[in-house]
Amino acid sequence: MFDFTSEQLHRYSRHILLKEIGVEGQEKLCRARVLIIGAGGLGSPVAMYLAAAGIGTLGIIDSDTVELSNLQRQILHRTADVDRPKVDSALETLQGINPEINITALKLKFRAENAIDVLRGYDFVVDGTDNFAAKFVINDACVIEGVPFSHAGVVGFAGQAMTVIPGKSTCFRCVFPQPPPPGSVPTCSQAGVLGAAAGMLGTIQAAEAVKYITGAGELLLNTLLTFDVLTMTFRKVSLPRQDTCKVCGEKPVITEPFDVEQEECR
């Protein structure tokens, strides 16, 4: 059995008290390895909640530096962090929240060429990116490597999330066979995004990661959760797995991740 110190028992007491998590669930959290792709509007709350939850190893990958326009929603970063690499300020914030976890910060763009190497060894991946191109790379790499992940996307006041267990549940490519043509979909830099909407969604992703690791409750499998903050409407849409899916179907034709050209969002 994991030997919690008295300090750890206090730190994690509100999780341990939950019947669905308990001592055993907290042990699983403390041993888990989670990769967060993107230290932005989604990645911020995800990383902060997962660090606070005591996830044993937290990987965070982002190639960007902090911009003033990020601060409205990317709560990992402070005003004094502008122009610093996001992974540096993320590391500082996360260590401040929980100094006892291992944090691997990679100042790197998650791309097809490094995707498999980066995510290998992680138990769960959180997609905190803001563009379709990256979402397809993450989906394909996770499906090929068999790593469960949380998909999410946020634009304006609207968000969506789905959890994928490769080989068992609907993958992102089952729902969207290919990325939309460049320029056809607004990214958040073009369309604006409510900071709190990104926060809500990232919090949902953090909860899904904790649920996956501890086995608590039911995951958003084969289900796309969508919400509109303006009306506070939440919907769940059932989305069955597709036998014809190019990456997780019966005859997969995608056997390694590949990049597609897409206008990127900052």
Partner 1 sequence: MPDSGNCQQAGRDMADKEILPDASRNLLGVGCPMNMVYAKVELARLGSGQVLELVLDDGAPVSNVSGSIQKEGHEILAKRQMPAGGWSIFIRKG
Shortest distance (Å) from residue 48 CB to partner 1: 23
Residue from 13, 69, 190, 233 touching partner 1 (CB under 8 A): that is 13
Shortest distance (Å) from residue 8 CB to partner 1: 10
Stretch that binds partner 1, among 19-27, 57-65, 212-220, 248-256 (CB under 8 A): 19-27
Shortest distance (Å) from residue 5 CB to partner 1: 11
Residue from 5, 7, 19, 251 touching partner 1 (CB under 8 A): that is 19
Shortest distance (Å) from residue 214 CB to partner 1: 14
Separation of CA 207 from chain center: 10
Stretch that binds partner 1, among 20-28, 31-39, 44-52, 166-174 (CB under 8 A): 20-28
Report the residue number, 15 or 173, with the smaller CB distance to partner 1: 15
Q: Are 59 and 254 spatial neighbours (Cβ–Cβ below 8 Å)?
A: no
**Is 251 a binder of partner 1 (CB under 8 A)?**
no
**CA-to-CA dists, residue 100 to 185, 202, 231, angstroms:** 41, 22, 40
Q: Count of alpha carbons within 13 Å of 201, Cβ hemisphere only?
A: 37
**Is 16 a binder of partner 1 (CB under 8 A)?**
yes
Report the residue number, 216 or 229, with the smaller CB distance to partner 1: 216
**Is 217 a binder of partner 1 (CB under 8 A)?**
no
Shortest distance (Å) from residue 21 CB to partner 1: 10
**Is 80 a binder of partner 1 (CB under 8 A)?**
no
Shortest distance (Å) from residue 218 CB to partner 1: 20
Report the residue number, 7 or 117, with the smaller CB distance to partner 1: 7
Report the residue number, 24 or 256, with the smaller CB distance to partner 1: 24
**Is 24 a binder of partner 1 (CB under 8 A)?**
yes
Stretch that binds partner 1, among 16-24, 75-83, 106-114, 246-254 (CB under 8 A): 16-24
**Is 17 a binder of partner 1 (CB under 8 A)?**
yes
Shortest distance (Å) from residue 66 CB to partner 1: 38
Sign of CA dihedral 216, 218, 222, 223: negative
Sign of CA dihedral 128, 121, 98, 217: positive
Contacts with partner 1 by CB under 8 A lie at 1, 4, 9-10, 13, 16-17, 19, 22-24
